[in-house]
Structures are given as structure tokens and as C-alpha cells.
Amino acid sequence: MIWFIVKRLSMLIPILFGISLLTFLLIRLAPGDPAEAYLRLSHIPPTNQAIQEMNVKLGLDKPLIVQYVDWLGKVVRLDFGNSYVSKQPVWDELMLYFPATLQLTITAVILTVCISVPIGIFSALYKDSMFDHLSRILSFVGASMPTFWLGFLFMYFFSIKLDLLPVVGRGSLAHLVLPSLTLAFAYISTYTRLLRTSMLENLHQPFVFYARVRGLQERVIIGRHVLKMALLPVVTAFGMTIGNMLTGAFIVESIFAWPGLGRFFVSALSHRDYPVVQSCILLMGGIFVVCNLLVDIGYGLLDPRIRWKGER
Amino acid sequence: MNLQRLHSFALRLIPLFLLAALFAGCSSNVSQNSNSHSKTLTFSWSEDIGNLNPHTYLPNQFFAQAMVYESLVAYGEGGKIEPWLAEKWEISPDGKEYLFHLRKDIKFSDGSTFNAAVVKKNFDAVLGNAKEHEWLELINQIKSTEVVDEFRFRMILKNSYYPALQELTLIRPLRFLGEAGFPDNGKTFEGIKQPIGTGPWVLSEYKRGESATFTRNDLYWGTKPKLNKVIVKVIPDGEARVLAFENKEIDLIFGNGLISQDSYKFLKDTGNYEAHLSEPTSTRIVQLNSNRGATKDLKVRMAIQHAFNKQAVIDRVFYGLEEKSDTLFSTNFPYSDVHVKPYEYNVERAKQLLAEAGWKEVPGKEFREKDGKPLELQLLFISTNNIQKAVAEVIQGDLRKVGINVKLTGQEEEAHWKTAFQGEFELLFNESWGAPYDPHSYVSAMSKAAEQGNTDYLIQLGLPMKKEMDQKIGRVLLSTDENVRRALYADILTTLHEQAVYLPISYQTNMAVYHKNVSGVNFMPQPYEVPFTTINVK
């Protein structure tokens, strides 16, 4: 198992290298340039001279390869450079916004698990019951409703109409409820359906039949055996979900004024703040790789067959 | 299947479910309504206030800089220059030397004295980074500065540059940081130690990306604010801002573009809130490129002006919230009260002009042609800008009626400006800069050759009198004679109007929406300032 983890971790390096090269090139292929964006956003007329000055100041006058090597050389030493806009070290910026996103994601993950797992199990066990139908409706609604609209509906009902929760901002636990619920909602729908299908498949496996023959208690069969098997596809999807939540919470962060990484990233993107964009993507790439690694480890824990295969 | 057992298993899961629900509900005690603290106003802005450096631009926000820092002279109603940190000033007869008499009762928020030495130190810091301020002509014109005595400061210019005082009123870069705020090397553009100003507010708490709290500066020399505190929350989304306002999480919405016109109308129509619009702050325009395609022809440009039903846009897109504009600058701006004949909405006149320009109707075809080529124009807009998009569609429809095919090109903002600066358009949305930049800074910029950075310059390149006009702009800025200046401005603005390179649409305004317990919300002469000093809450 340890060898497996080490092997996977060592793969992180070429992957991150690939990501860094790709982002570096892609962002530079995008139209618009940071010097001009900076000047315009500062209400400074972007004259030729001003743009040239700014390019020199930002180091954008050097050849692309030199820029890349410079940047990479610093990144290896964990120096991500300074943001063009705020002039602050990018690392400090990332560490300022990342905890907020992490908090939001963790809460959303907890909500997703706590809500979708019971509903998924119930609707599998009571297939075609009233409960199953209701959960199906909920799933379809949740999966098809755009996040921003859902967010506004939540704000409208819970804050304006019922006056229970604050609309925007971060601070108390109350501030966390609506954004995390909005973020989790679509995933809850997905996982409910996923788990239901997976449970139903496994409920008809021979091992369930033999377990019953062995006289095992039904809750042991469901809880320990069927659920464990049924969770496999869910865990696979979960790796991606956590990555998605951590990196793609932009809409939720934006409407709920949540000071997270997604908002920071998108504003950097529109300012063509290259150091920030590159570092964010690198971080996000790293997160995805780590999440997938965790999924693989989780797999091994859930299903010994996979573990054995990995060790052979 | 043993249903009973299953049932009990299912029942065991219920607490888990409830736990989740509880988690969601446990914290429903809302700590909101900042009004419960006495004399606190909660405001919101779409971005973080920035690092409150008086001498730099992004990520600083104008309104926040203006809360903490003040200028030597102030921009009053109608562009009148008023004493501020300088109680009076003398200008030498040749217009090159300015002697400022500073007020003697002014303290920075850290208790240090505001005097000529600190003024010079600030000027030096800004001039030390002159390249970044190259756009501001005053910076290029300053030859030297000197401390005459403790409370007298002299600024010497290379030429007599009349807008010098106007440009001293700007929120940045010529405002004053206290001695203790300077970094050790004095280079403020690399960062400051602390935001120490002479203004009515002091930054007391700051959570980057979330909120900033300003407390009243008790050492303030002028009329002290009535509020104790102003909290500025960062809310990027306009709709969320409206909901937060309705939920009393913010007390005041103030500015341009912070909420949509629909939202303004909605809030106003509820009758529960105060909702007001300012005087015109700047002009929405469409630039007609005299240097490309069919719009090279004056008659085509004039035809477009006549074919566009401005009033329909005002009524249907802006709900009558913006006033129709017929000139590049609103007549309430300095030197802008120029009498020109507006291009009225007249489809027949437009058709006639197009025919005169050689663009003929072709039987069986929707669009006019000349030498076998159809009359096509490219209109650029920013794809995320709903107002531009809506107006673009009206323009497309209106011009189709006279036989012009307008192709709409919506792009993401950066890509949009890239295309615009390359001059690849016939029609382009833009806006004037507003007070205190209009008209002099705007006019000055349009005369500067900058292929990459200035669409005003680009679109005028096809004008036969462009060179001559640029010389006039150069003269108007250096003229010391008020009458000459007035005549030159009238000449320049009339030429621009007659050459039809600008299609003015409407005057933008600031919007103010606030709860009924808030009072004293006045509009400031500089549109980027928020009147926190006069605001009170009950």
C-alpha cells in the first residue's frame, strides 16, 4: 500500500510539470494582455508608452521561454511571484482565499454525504415507493437547476421571506448554510441516484443471497456488505466532486460574496493576472491529483481485491 | 426480505439525516442588521477596497481612497475649483507658478501635522514614479516643487497648463499620505506602511476580500462625519446585493453599475426605500470609425445618427432612468455648453443621406449596395455587458430599416478591447470619463497617437481636419486666456459633432438606494466619491 502511494505521489511531478507548461502557453494564447488590462482597470489610458513601461515592469518583454524558465525556477522554490494587480505574493493570496473555499467544500461534502447516502439507501430499499418517487423528483430538480438560480431562490426564501439566514458574506456558522447547501445540492441529486442504482445492482448479487442463507442479520448484509460494494462507484465520483467543489465554486462564491479561491481565480483571469492564474491552475491540478489518489486509497480500503492487485 | 429488520436499519439512518438537517438549521440565529449598533452604515462594493495607497491605482478603489486622503483643492459643483487642504493659492501671471497656502489646523489621523514638507514628500513620491502617471498631463508638466515655508508650497510648471488645478482634485495620484505611512525608501509605489491620511475616515479593521471598517477620524479638521463607522462589504454580484439590501444587511447602494436598472426600478417601485439618480456623470456613446469601411464617409455616419431611435432605447432599455444625450459631454460640464443642432431621429433623412453617399437600394435585397458590395458594419460589444447587448440589438434593428447590415460581435472583455485597439470595427461602445476628467483629459487623450490604446484617436484618423484639431487641443490646454479657451473648446466640440464620429446615447448617472432611516445621501461632484461625511442613520 505504501509503495503504491509513493508511486502515485511521484507521478505528481510530471503531471504538475505538464499542467504548468500547458497553462503557461494557453493563457498567453488568449487574446488581451495584462499590461493593457491593468492600465484600463486603473482608469489609465493605455497609451503605447504606458503599455511598454508596464510590460518591462511585469517582465513581459522577455522571450516566452525565458519567462517560463524564470517562473518555473521560482515555483520550485515555492515562490509563485507577485500578483500584477495586488502586488502581493501569490502564495499569500492563495493562502488567504483557500481556507474559505476549503471550509465551504468540507461543509458541502458533509451535507452531500449526510443527505444523499440515507436517501439513496432508502430509495433503493423501498424501490417504487412514494419515498422513491419523491427522491427522484428531488434529484431531477436538483440536477437540472442552475446553481446561481438555486442560490437566489435560497436567499429569497430563507433570508428575505423567512428571515432565518444572512444573504451574503462569511463569518458566523449561519453564513455557511446557504452557500454550502447551494454548492451541495446538485451533488446530492447525483449521488442519491448513483447510490440507489448501485445498491439495487448489488442487492441482487449472489453474495447477498448466500449471506441470507448464512442467516446474517439483514442490517449487517445491507450495512456491511451491500453498502460497501455499492459505495465503490460513489467513491470514484467523489474524488472528482471534491476537486470540482474546491476549484469550481466560483458561482456560489460570487453570489454569496464568499471570499474564496474561485472568485479570486476568475477575477485574476479577467485581469490577465498571469502569475495568479498559473499558480491557481497548478494548485487546482495538484488538488485533483491528490483527490484521485485518495480515491484510489479509499478503493483499496473498501475492496480488498483491488488492494491485493495493487500489491502484487 | 425481512422487512421489519430493514425498517429498523432504515430507522437508524434517520438520526443521521436529522443531524444533517440540524447542522443546516442549528445556526439560524442571524447576526445581521448593522443598524443595531448606533451610527453605523453598511455599504457594499463589488471589489475589495485595495491597499489604500494614495499614489497608486488598482487594486485601490476610488471611493475608499477618497475617504482617507484629501487633495489640495476640491472639485466643486460645475467644476468650480474650491479651497481644501490649501486655503488659497496664487498663480503667477505667466500661469507657470502655483503658490499654495496650506491650512494650518490640519492633522493627519496619527496626530502629525500636515505641512509643506509632507506635501513635497508626497509630490516627490509621485514624481519618482512619473512613468506610471504619464497619462496625467499635470505630472508631465511639473518642473519642480519647493517648500517655501512651513505652510506654503510652490509648484512650478514647464508650461502654463490650465487644468493643473482640476487635476490636483483627482482622487489619485496627488493626495497626501502622512509621514509615518511612507516606506523607508520613500517609494510609495512599492507599498505603504499604513494608510494615514487627513480625511474624515480611518481604516480600523480590514478583512481582505470580505469587508473593511472605517471609523470616524476624530482629528478631522473639516465638518466631522455624523456616523461613527462605515462598514464596506465586498459583494461581487448585483442581484445578491439587492437581496442583501432587502434583508437589511446593507444600508446603502451607491454608484454606477452596482445594480441593474431592473433592480433599481424594482426597489424604487416597492415604495419601501429611497431611490434617487444623480445628475449626468458621463456619457454612453457609440464611436463611429472614420478610418474604416463605410463609416469613412461622413454621410454614412450622419445617416447612422439619424436612423437610430435613441428615445426607444431610453424608454425600453433604460426604463427612462437615463436621460437622452445629444452631445459628447453633458452641458453641465465645464466648457461643454456648446450649441449644436442634435441629429434627430429621421429615417427618411437617413435613407436620403445613404443614397447621396452612393449606397443604393437593390430590388429584392434587404441591404443597400455600392459597387456590388453590401453595406455592412461591425459593432463590437462586451458579451457580458447586458446593456451594451440590448442597445446593440436596437441599433441592429434600426439600421436594418434603412438598409444597413450591422454585424454584432460580442467578446469577453479582454478580447474585446484587443480587437477595439486594433481598430477592427466600424461601431464601438464606449463612454466619456466623467468629472473631473471631462472634457479636458478626455479631449487631451484623443489627440495622442497611441495605436494600441486609444479608440478615440483611432476613429478620428479618417477626419480631414484631424491634425488641425489635435493642434487646437494642444492649444486649449495651454491657453491662459479664458475666452480663447472657451472658443477653442466650442470649435473642437462642434467639429466632433458635425463630423458625427460620436453617437451619444444617454447620460449615465449614479444610483443611490437606501433605507428610510438613512439620510443625507447627496451626490458628489466627483462621481467616484460616496458622500459618507453627510450621511446619517436614525
**The pLDDT of residue B33:** 43
Instruction: Take residue B8 and report the three cell numbers written for it.
Output: 429498523
B78 and B129 Cβ atoms separated by less than 8 Å? no
Nearest by CB to A177, which of B27, B51, B239? B27
What gap in Å lies between CA A129 and CA B283, rounded to an integer? 63
Residue B252, φ and ψ in degrees, nearest 5: -145, 135
Determine the average pLDDT of the residues in B97-103: 95
Taking only the tens place, the pLDDT of each residue in B256-278 is 888 988 899 999 999 999 999 99
What percent of chain A stands above pLDDT 70?
94
Query: Hey, is B272 helix, strand or coil?
Result: coil
pLDDT at residue A202 tops 60: yes
**The pLDDT of residue B18:** 43
- What DSSP string describes B226-267? S-SEEEEEE---HHHHHHHHHTTS-SEEEESSSS-HHHHHHH
With a CB cutoff of 8 Å and minimum separation 6, the contacts of A260 are: A97, A98, A100, A101, A104, A249, A253
Which stretches of B310-383 are assigned E, i.e. beta strand? 323-324, 369-370, 373-374, 376-382
Instruction: Take residue B209 and report the three cell numbers written for it.
Output: 476580500
Neighbours of B77 (CB within 10 A): 11
Chain center to CA of B425 = 24
Lowest pLDDT segment from A298-302, B102-106, B107-111, B529-533 = A298-302
Chain center to CA of B470 = 25
HSE-up of A176 (CA within 13 Å, CB side)? 20
Phi-psi region of B154 (alpha: psi -120 to 50; beta: other; left: phi over 0): beta
List the 9-68 stretch of A: residues with Cβ below 8 A of B.
30-33, 36-51, 53
| Confidence label for A299 from pLDDT (cuts 50, 70 and 90) | confident
Query: Hey, is B187 helix, strand or coil?
Result: coil
| Residue A192 distance to chain B (closest CA, Å) | 13
A163 and B249 Cβ atoms separated by less than 8 Å? no
The closest of B463, B464, B441 to B454, measured between CA atoms, is B441
Phi-psi region of B426 (alpha: psi -120 to 50; beta: other; left: phi over 0): alpha
Nearest by CB to A45, which of B26, B32, B135? B135
| Residue B128 distance to chain A (closest CA, Å) | 14
**The pLDDT of residue B164:** 92
Higher pLDDT, B421 or B82: B82
What gap in Å lies between CA B362 and CA B371, rounded to an integer? 11
What percent of chain A stands above pLDDT 90?
14
* pLDDT mean across residues, chain A: 83
CB contact under 8 A, A257 and B235: yes
Which residues in chain A are closer than 8 Å to B132, comparing Cβ atoms? 44, 50, 53
Residue B436: asked if its preceding bond is cis (omega within 30°), the reply is yes
Query: Hey, is B113 helix, strand or coil?
Result: strand
Which residues in chain A are closer than 8 Å to B190, comparing Cβ atoms? 87
| Residue B247 distance to chain A (closest CA, Å) | 6
B149 and B99 Cβ atoms separated by less than 8 Å? no
CB contact under 8 A, A174 and B30: yes
List the 63-102 stretch of A: residues with Cβ below 8 A of B.
85-87, 96-97
Chain center to CA of A105 = 7
Helices vs. strands in chain B: H and E counts, helices first: 16, 23
Amino acid, single-letter form, for residue A91: W
Residue A79, φ and ψ in degrees, nearest 5: -105, 105
Taking only the tens place, the pLDDT of each residue in B359-411 is 999 998 999 999 989 999 999 999 888 889 999 999 999 999 999 999 999 98
Which stretches of B461-523 are assigned E, i.e. beta strand? 502-508, 511-515, 518-519
Instruction: Give, in degrees to the nearest 5, the angle at Cα B441 between B436 and B443.
Output: 125
Higher pLDDT, A215 or B25: A215
Q: Least CA distance to B417: which residue of chain A?
A: A32
What gap in Å lies between CA B356 and CA B525, rounded to an integer? 45
Determine the average pLDDT of the residues in B482-506: 94
CB contact under 8 A, B233 and A168: yes
Amino acid, single-letter form, for residue A310: G
Taking only the tens place, the pLDDT of each residue in B127-169 is 998 877 877 889 989 999 999 999 999 999 999 988 899 999 9
What gap in Å lies between CA A74 and CA A71, rounded to an integer? 5
What gap in Å lies between CA A62 and CA A201, rounded to an integer? 59
Q: Least CA distance to B421: which residue of chain A?
A: A46
Identify the burial level of B227 via C-beta atoms within 10 angstroms of its C-beta, where 0-12 means exposed, 13-18 middle and 19 or more buried. Answer: buried
* pLDDT mean across residues, chain B: 88
**The pLDDT of residue A311:** 52
With a CB cutoff of 8 Å and minimum separation 6, the contacts of B465 are: B495, B499
pLDDT at residue A205 tops 60: yes
- What DSSP string describes B274-309? EEEE-S--EEEEEEE-TTSGGGGSHHHHHHHHHH--
What gap in Å lies between CA B349 and CA B232, rounded to an integer? 52
**The pLDDT of residue B450:** 58
Query: Hey, is A291 helix, strand or coil?
Result: helix
Instruction: Take residue A134 and report the three cell numbers written for it.
Output: 419523491
Residue B360 DSSP label: B
What gap in Å lies between CA A151 and CA A181, rounded to an integer? 9
pLDDT at residue B248 tops 50: yes
Nearest by CB to B452, which of A46, A87, A122? A46
**The pLDDT of residue A34:** 76
Lowest pLDDT segment from A251-265, B288-302, B436-450 = B436-450
Determine the average pLDDT of the residues in B209-238: 93
Residue A158 CA: distances (Å) to CA of A23, B235, B238, B370: 40, 19, 19, 62
What gap in Å lies between CA B384 and CA B499, rounded to an integer? 31
Identify the burial level of B149 via C-beta atoms within 10 angstroms of its C-beta, where 0-12 means exposed, 13-18 middle and 19 or more buried. Answer: exposed
| Confidence label for B453 from pLDDT (cuts 50, 70 and 90) | low
What gap in Å lies between CA B267 and CA B516, rounded to an integer? 12
B119 and B176 Cβ atoms separated by less than 8 Å? yes
Instruction: Take residue B177 and report the three cell numbers written for it.
Output: 499620505
Q: Grid coordinates 453627510 are at which residue?
A: B534
Which residues in chain B are closer than 8 Å to A47, comparing Cβ atoms? 134-135, 448, 450, 452-454
What percent of chain B stands above pLDDT 70?
92
pLDDT at residue B9 tops 80: no
**The pLDDT of residue B199:** 95
With a CB cutoff of 8 Å and minimum separation 6, the contacts of B250 are: B42, B43, B44, B233, B235, B241, B244
Q: Least CA distance to A163: which residue of chain B?
A: B247
The closest of A225, A252, A254 to A111, measured between CA atoms, is A252
| Confidence label for B311 from pLDDT (cuts 50, 70 and 90) | very high
pLDDT at residue B297 tops 80: yes
Residue B16 CA: distances (Å) to CA of A50, A114, A194, A218, B10: 61, 6, 19, 19, 10
B99 and B152 Cβ atoms separated by less than 8 Å? yes
With a CB cutoff of 8 Å and minimum separation 6, the contacts of B397 are: none
Taking only the tens place, the pLDDT of each residue in B12-56 is 544 444 444 444 443 333 344 444 457 999 999 988 898 899 998
What gap in Å lies between CA B147 and CA B164, rounded to an integer? 18
**The pLDDT of residue B246:** 93
Query: Hey, is A13 helix, strand or coil?
Result: helix
Q: Does A293 touch chain B (CB under 8 A)?
A: no
- Rg from Cα positions in chain A: 24
B174 and B122 Cβ atoms separated by less than 8 Å? yes
What gap in Å lies between CA A266 and CA B334, rounded to an integer? 39
CB contact under 8 A, B418 and A125: no
Instruction: Take residue B189 and report the three cell numbers written for it.
Output: 509605489
The closest of A200, A194, A223 to A211, measured between CA atoms, is A223
What gap in Å lies between CA B449 and CA A218, rounded to an integer? 83
pLDDT at residue B328 tops 90: yes
A93 and A260 Cβ atoms separated by less than 8 Å? no
Nearest by CB to B237, which of A49, A97, A255? A255
Angle between helices A64-76 and A2-29 (to 10 degrees): 150
What gap in Å lies between CA A268 and CA A285, rounded to an integer? 17
pLDDT at residue A308 tops 70: no
Nearest by CB to B237, which of A31, A33, A254? A254
Taking only the tens place, the pLDDT of each residue in A12-55 is 788 888 888 888 888 777 766 777 777 766 666 677 777 777 77
**The pLDDT of residue B1:** 42
The closest of B289, B502, B498 to B377, measured between CA atoms, is B289
CB contact under 8 A, A111 and B208: no
Residue A249, φ and ψ in degrees, nearest 5: -90, 20
What gap in Å lies between CA A184 and CA A143, rounded to an integer? 11
| Confidence label for B449 from pLDDT (cuts 50, 70 and 90) | low
Nearest by CB to B240, which of A155, A176, A219? A155
A265 and A277 Cβ atoms separated by less than 8 Å? yes
**The pLDDT of residue B332:** 84
